[in-house]
């Protein structure tokens, strides 16, 4: 994947796909011209300044074009996260890279809503953290078949779900009952003797298929051949996959064409020097926050806050090494609920300490009702310092 170098490219180009892989960067003409005119008004060459500016314009004035500039900027971190997840989890499901990327794009609105450039001006780093967990959580929420092969999914689903899935596929009446009976015979005869290879349930052996066909023909009035029964069972599995994980529609498309009417000429370009100075200060504020958190984290007294003795290890494994809670619990020999409570308590402690510290040292107006936004920022701050401790590069 080619890296976008210029600011115009970063804020006006989108990924063009070919066979579900990155092909090239495709320019949105409207965004390109708008970015070029904006750069003529403000000469800043820092992407973080423009992230903060477009985010401010979108929040205060609900400017669609400002949001679209940010959507363009987010293409790279989203693709990077999707590629990492696809490489890590491709053995667990059959989702292509494009699907994971599209799932990330669907999270852009929530990402921008929770993003606060005062707390963290690096949108790319924030997006990498935010999208990783959002994509995983969304996949698991939408697709409870995650990690199953077709053959194992059929063994772990209910008749009600199979029936609904087949009806959703358009299979009804007597043909529906044939599919359900074939599935029922499959479960009854294959579940006690399922074949696994590398931890994955494989297709039944010829002998088991023969038993499935014989049982089906004893129960149903119209005997069927092996090929028909096999096809009905496979169709049932495909229907359940489709029913449990409906296809997502990607919104990652060019936002306009050359011939469309434009509003670009009536949208004001950045022209407020005082506002520009405040936006440039965001980087310094974030650096100051991370320095405070490192010192706070190093001096954290577990007894004072009644924290688990494994607290720092849990936080390091979760944020620094990206391990899942269940893996951490197995590694440390503790309950997963303990891991979850510890992580939540750490975030609460850091958030409370930050609200107190920020009033005296940052002089920014943060209120207790900003806790949700601050919590999201705290997760990314912890990720930043733990990545550094793990030998990664701080973003």
Structure tokens at 189: 């005869």
Report in angstroms the alpha-carbon separations of 95 from 86, 88, 144, 149: 8, 12, 13, 12
So what's the pLDDT on residue 389?
64
| Domains and their CATH numbers in the chain | 1-143 (1.20.120), 150-244 (no CATH), 281-395 (no CATH)
Residue labelled with tokens 């405070």 = 292
CA 48, 49, 50 angle in degrees (round to 5)?
90
User: Whose CA is closest to 111, among 84, 138, 85?
Assistant: 138
User: Whose CA is closest to 377, among 77, 120, 74, 110?
Assistant: 120
**For 15-72, how does the pLDDT look when each residue is reduced to its tens digit (9 = 90+)?**
998 877 898 999 999 999 999 999 988 877 788 889 988 998 898 887 789 999 999 9
β-strands 196-197, 200-201 pairing = antiparallel
**Could you tell me where the DSSP H helices lie in 15-74?**
29-41, 47-61, 64-73
So what's the pLDDT on residue 178?
95
pTM above threshold 0.85: no
**For 108-148, how does the pLDDT look when each residue is reduced to its tens digit (9 = 90+)?**
988 998 888 877 778 888 888 888 888 877 666 655 555 56
Report in angstroms the alpha-carbon separations of 87 from 91, 108, 148, 248, 265: 8, 22, 17, 20, 44
Per-residue pLDDT of the chain (395 residues; tens, 9 = 90+): 788 989 999 999 999 988 778 989 999 999 999 999 999 888 777 888 899 889 988 988 877 899 999 999 999 999 999 998 888 766 555 678 888 898 898 889 889 988 888 777 788 888 888 888 888 776 666 555 555 678 888 888 888 889 988 998 889 889 999 999 999 999 999 988 878 776 678 889 999 999 999 999 999 999 999 999 999 999 998 888 777 654 433 333 333 334 333 323 323 344 444 444 555 566 677 778 888 888 888 888 888 888 889 999 999 998 888 788 888 999 999 988 889 889 988 988 888 888 778 777 776 555 544 566 677 678 778 877 887 665 544 33
CA quadruple 171, 173, 174, 176: dihedral positive or negative? positive
Structure tokens at 247: 């296809």
Torsion angle of C-alpha atoms 16, 18, 19, 21, degrees rounded to 10:
-60
CA 103, 328, 384 angle in degrees (round to 5)?
60
Coil, strand or helix at 274 = helix
Q: What does the alpha-carbon distance between residue 145 and residue 240 come to, in Å, rounded to a whole number?
A: 9
Report in angstroms the alpha-carbon separations of 353 from 116, 164, 349, 356: 18, 51, 6, 5
């Amino acid at each position: 994947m080619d890296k976008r170098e210029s600011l115009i490219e970063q804020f006006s180009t989108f990924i063009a796909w070919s066979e579900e892989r990155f092909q090239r960067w495709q320019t949105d003409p409207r965004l390109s011209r708008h970015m070029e005119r904006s750069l003529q008004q403000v000469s800043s060459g820092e992407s973080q300044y423009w992230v903060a500016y477009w985010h401010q314009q979108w929040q205060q004035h609900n400017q669609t074009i400002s949001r679209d500039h940010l959507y363009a900027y987010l293409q790279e971190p989203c693709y990077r996260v999707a590629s990492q997840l696809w490489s890590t989890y491709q053995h667990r499901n059959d989702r292509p890279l494009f699907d994971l990327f599209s799932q990330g794009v669907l999270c852009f609105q929530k990402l921008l809503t929770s993003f606060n450039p005062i707390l963290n001006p690096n949108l790319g780093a924030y997006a990498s953290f935010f999208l990783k967990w959002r994509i995983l959580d969304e996949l698991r929420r939408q697709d409870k078949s995650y990690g199953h092969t077709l053959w194992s999914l059929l063994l772990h689903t209910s008749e009600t779900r199979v029936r609904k899935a087949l009806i959703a596929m358009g299979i009804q009446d007597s043909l529906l009952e044939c599919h359900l009976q074939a599935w029922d015979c499959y479960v009854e005869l294959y579940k006690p003797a399922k074949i696994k290879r590398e931890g994955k349930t494989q297709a039944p052996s010829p002998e088991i298929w023969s038993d499935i066909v014989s049982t089906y023909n004893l129960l149903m009035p119209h005997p069927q051949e092996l090929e028909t029964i096999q096809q009905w069972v496979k169709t049932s599995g495909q229907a359940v996959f489709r029913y449990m994980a409906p296809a997502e529609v990607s919104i990652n498309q060019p936002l306009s064409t050359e011939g469309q009417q434009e509003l670009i000429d009536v949208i004001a370009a950045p022209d407020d020097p005082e506002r520009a100075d405040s936006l440039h200060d965001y980087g310094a504020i974030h650096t100051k926050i991370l320095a405070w958190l490192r010192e706070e984290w190093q001096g954290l007294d577990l007894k004072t806050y009644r924290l688990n003795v494994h607290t720092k290890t849990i936080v390091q494994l979760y944020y620094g090494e990206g391990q899942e809670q269940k893996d951490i619990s197995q590694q440390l020999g503790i309950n997963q609920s303990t891991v979850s409570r510890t992580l939540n308590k750490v975030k609460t402690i850091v958030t409370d300490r930050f609200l107190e510290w920020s009033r005296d040292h940052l002089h920014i107006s943060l209120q207790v009702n900003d806790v949700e936004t601050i919590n999201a920022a705290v997760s990314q701050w912890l990720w930043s310092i733990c990545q550094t401790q793990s030998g990664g590069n701080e973003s």
